Amino acid sequence: MAEYKAHHLSRRTLLGLFGAAAAAPALAACGSSVGGGSSGTDGGDADGPVSVGLVIPQSGVYAALGVDMQRGWDLWLAQHDNRIGGREVTTVVADEGETPQTGVPAVQRVLQSDQVDVVVGLVNSATALGAAPLMSEARKILVVANAGAADITGASRTPYVWRTSFQNAQVAAAAGPYLAEQDIPGGVFLIAPDYAAGTEVRAGFRAAYEAAGGTIAGEATPPFGTTQDYQPFLSQIQQSGAGAVFCFFAGAEAVRFVQQYAQFGLKDSVPLYGSGFLTEGGVLAAQAEAAVGVRTSLFYTDQLDNPANSAFVDAYRSAYDDALPTCYSVSTFDAAAVLDRAVAAAGALDGDALGEALGGIGPIQDSPRGEWTFDGQSPRQTMYLRTVEGTPPELGNAVTADLGPQAQV
C-alpha cells in the first residue's frame, strides 16, 4: 500500500461555492514558491518514483465522500503493485476540509512543501477553480475526482486540470429526454438550492427537457445550507399540478428533502426524480423507506452489470468490510487508471507531457462505470436512470434505463 503523510488543516464554516475567487489571486501571487518544473521525485528518470497529492475531505461535512475517494485510490494501487505507469507511488494525503479557504491552501501545501508531481481529488468546485492557477503556475496536472462545476473544464479551463467525475449539468441533462418521453401530465416541477451547483443543474435539466418537448410546471430555489423545513416548497409542488419532480440535493439536504417529500404525501402521487447524488452513498441509508422508488440519473451504480464492475465491487467489498462502492470511489479509481496510462505514455511527470498523454489515451474500456473517454478534459460517459429498490437497511440503486452517452453540457 502507499505511504501516507496526513496534513490536518483548520476547519472553517461552510461558505458555498463562490468563495474561491478571492483566494486564488493571492495564492497565485506566491510565484515560484508553489513549485515549478522540478519535483521531490526524480521526474527526469523514466523509472523513477511518482509522488501524488491526494487532496480530499478528511474533516467536515464532506468527510464521508473523502473516505470513499481514498478507498477507490487505495484499491487501484493495491491491485497494481503500488505503481502508476510502472513507477512506485508515494501518496501524500491532505485534508481539503469543507471550503476553498481550507482546500486551496491544502493544494498549495502539497505542491510547495511536499513537491508532489500530480494532484488528485477535490470535492468542492470552488476549491478546484481556486487551485487551477496554482497548477498552471507549477505546470503540474490536477485530476479532479468529484467537483462538478462547468467552469473547471469550461470557461476557466486550463490544460493542467482534467476531470474523471462529472459536470453538474451533464448528470441532470441526461434525464431530460427520458422524462419528456414519458409525456407526464402537468409537466415537471424543478427544484434545487440557490447556489452555483443548483443553478447549473436547473439550467442543464431545463434545456434538455424542453428541447425534447417537455413542459416545466414550476421552479423553486430553497436557500442553500439553511433550509430545514421544505413544506412551503412542497406546497408549491402540490399546487403546481406537476406530474413529477426533478431535484438536486446532496448530503443532509438530500436526506431532509426525501424524508419530508414522503411525509408530505407527495411520494405516491408525484414521482420524484433527481441527480444521482440524491440517493448516493450514505444518504440512502439515512433516507430509509422514504427513498424507495426515487429515480435518479448518474454515471454509476454498484449494480451495473459489466465484468469490470463485478470485479470492482467484489474487490471493494472484500477490502472494506463489505462496504459498497459509490460514484466517488469510482471517479478516484479511474483517476489512478488514466494517470497510469498517461505516465506510461509520456515517460515523464511534467504537466505538459502528462496533459498531452491524457488527451491521447482514447476510450477507457475497463472502468467499472462502463466505457468512457475524455471530451474537453471531462468525461463523455453513459448515464443511467436508477431506481431505489429493496427494504431498509438493504437498499440499492437498481438500473432502470440506459440514458446513453452524455458529454459535458
The tens digit of pLDDT for each residue in 250-271 reads 999 999 999 999 999 999 999 9
Q: Over range 386-393, report the average pLDDT.
A: 96
Alpha helix ranges (H) inside 264-382? 282-287, 307-319, 327-346, 351-359
Distance CA 70, CA 365 (A): 22
Positive or negative CA dihedral for 82, 356, 121, 46? positive
Q: Where are the alpha helices (DSSP H) in 139-264?
A: 168-173, 175-181, 196-211, 231-240, 251-263
Mean pLDDT, the chain, rounded, equals: 90
Q: Same domain, yes or no, for 105 and 20?
A: yes
Are 199 and 259 within 8 A, CB to CB?
Answer: no
Clarify whether residues 60 and 102 are in a common domain: yes
Mean pLDDT to the nearest integer, 329-348: 98
pLDDT single digits (tens) 41-60: 444 466 899 999 999 999 99
Same domain, 70 and 217: no
Q: Would you place residue 139 in the very low, low, confident or very high pLDDT band (cuts 50, 70, 90)?
A: very high
pTM: 0.89
How many domains does the chain contain in total?
2
d(CA 75, CA 120): 15
Same-domain status, 91 and 143? yes
Give percent of the chain with pLDDT exceeding 70: 89
The pLDDT value given to residue 381: 98
Tell whether 48 and 162 lie within a shared domain: yes
- Mean pLDDT, range 315-342, rounded to an integer: 98
Q: Report the distance separating Cα 260 and Cα 15, nearest Å.
A: 25
Residue 47 lies in a domain: yes
Residue 79, SS3 per DSSP: helix
Give the number of other Cβ atoms within 10 Å of residue 341's Cβ: 17
Report which of 337, 334, 354 is spatially closest to residue 140, judged by C-alpha positions. Answer: 354
Rounded Cα gap, residues 216 and 218, in angstroms: 6
The residue-averaged pLDDT of 200-220 equals 98
User: Nearest CA to 279 among 305, 251, 246?
Assistant: 251
| pLDDT for residue 45 | 62
Which residue do the cell numbers 475567487 mark? 21
Reported confidence tier of residue 39, pLDDT bands at 50, 70, 90: very low
Predicted confidence (pLDDT) at residue 354 exceeds the cutoff of 90: yes
Amino acid at 180: A
Beta strands in 77-117 (DSSP E): 83-84, 87-95
pLDDT, average across residues 177-187 = 96
CA distance 131 to 160: 11
pLDDT at 25 over 60: no
Range of the domain at 235: 170-298+383-406
Confidence of residue 15 (pLDDT cuts 50, 70, 90): very low
pLDDT at 19 over 50: no
| CATH number of 255's domain | 3.40.50.2300
Residue-level pLDDT at 41:
43
